[in-house]
Amino acid sequence: MIESGLESPNGPWSFVYDFSKHGGAISTITVGPKLIPAETVITGCNIRVITAPVGTNATIALHLLSSEDLLAATAITSFTLDALLVGVPVPQTAATWLLCTAATQLSVVIATTALTAGKFQVNLTGFRSITA
């Protein structure tokens, strides 16, 4: 599994968030150094839970450009072993797509209570748009 390397400039892009590596404090944590290139349109987001997060009453949100643009704050009770979650951008609804005008990184937002363990994979689909 590639943790922090760009598989292709045209996607798909895959990130693994591991609490033992990235931490679980109440904060916004950048999952890098992988970048989504400038002029990329994100058309889909899905999450697979590899190991359930450990903690109580916490929420997890994901964003690229602004707060919760990939996944709204979601209770960790939804992050059970092997759970599959669908994020905000969905392929059949262009109004939910995200245009990254500058290179950007995935951020994980942990709120309410710190988490001590767990791992999940975030998969983004999309395409590089053509500029002038």
Encode pLDDT of 5-34 as tens digits.
455 667 789 999 999 999 999 999 999 778
Per-residue model confidence (pLDDT) at position 8:
62
| Residue partners of 16: CB distance under 8 A and separation at least 6 | 1, 3, 50, 119, 120, 121, 122
13-128 CATH fold: Jelly Rolls (2.60.120)
Per-residue model confidence (pLDDT) at position 109:
97
Give the model's confidence band at 70: pLDDT under 50 very low, under 70 low, under 90 confident, else very high: very high
The chain-wide mean pLDDT, for the chain, equals: 90
The rounded distance, in Å, linking the Cα atoms of 5 and 33 is 7
Give the dihedral of Cα atoms 8, 13, 19, 22; nearest 10 deg: 50
The rounded distance, in Å, linking the Cα atoms of 55 and 7 is 32
Say whether pLDDT at 71 is over 80. yes
pLDDT tens digits, one per residue of 78-113: 999 999 999 999 999 999 999 999 999 999 999 999
The rounded distance, in Å, linking the Cα atoms of 42 and 126 is 4
Amino acid identity for residue 9 in this structure: P
The rounded distance, in Å, linking the Cα atoms of 120 and 48 is 6
Cβ(126)–Cβ(42) below 8 Å: yes
Entry pTM: 0.88
Ranges of each domain in the chain:
13-128
